[in-house]
Structure 1
Amino acid sequence: MFISPMLLQYSKNNLAFDDSSTFDELKWDVIRLIVSNLDELNLKTKNTNSTAKYPELHNPPIPKGTILDGEIVVLDEKGRADFESHWKNIIHRILDVIIVTLGMYPLFL
């Protein structure tokens, strides 16, 4: 079962909340991830893409009945979000899969 993420909503008047019963948070330039452990463990991006490219996220220790809506953030050495490094990591993993696949299924001209 896929749980839709909560998405950013802009303020109608473009002003920050001035109310102690609400809070805001920093908007990161990241990949959104929904982790649910209802009937079975499920990790999907907000677009329902598989997380096979993130093996370090598999089998997180979360109890049954838990739903987490979070973000994958890669930080540089100064603690700043580094989206470019994140994409380089993904592209290297994709290239590894392509190279292995080409080795299994060679092309002939």
Structure 2
Amino acid sequence: MSGRSTHHLSIEVERGRNAARLVVDGDLDRSSTGELRDIGIGLVDACEHVSVDVVAASVIDSAALGVLIELHRAARAAGCRFDVTIGPAHQRTLFATTGLDDYIDLIQAP
């Protein structure tokens, strides 16, 4: 497990044999999405399954949603399964309101 962090964001990367899980904690916004994109793109090219866990994300803005769409597309092009783990009800509402719940596989955290 390794971690990278910026002022308001931490991304922990958990690697398995052919899978990776990115655990986001903090503000996933325009100022921090580049880090998620860079890490995620590298992983979808190297893994069969990539999961992004946003349960602890305090902010998810439109730039962050754009990066999740970009990672989903890159994963599909690479033959990699991609999903996003969500937690609080407001996260489910965000994905439902934007229609992304029909596009990206969502996993509801317990």
Q: TM-score, normalised by structure 2?
A: 0.25
Structure with the higher fraction of residues in helix conformation: 2
Bigger radius of gyration among the two: 1
Q: TM-score, normalised by structure 1?
A: 0.25
Structure with the higher fraction of residues in strand conformation: 2
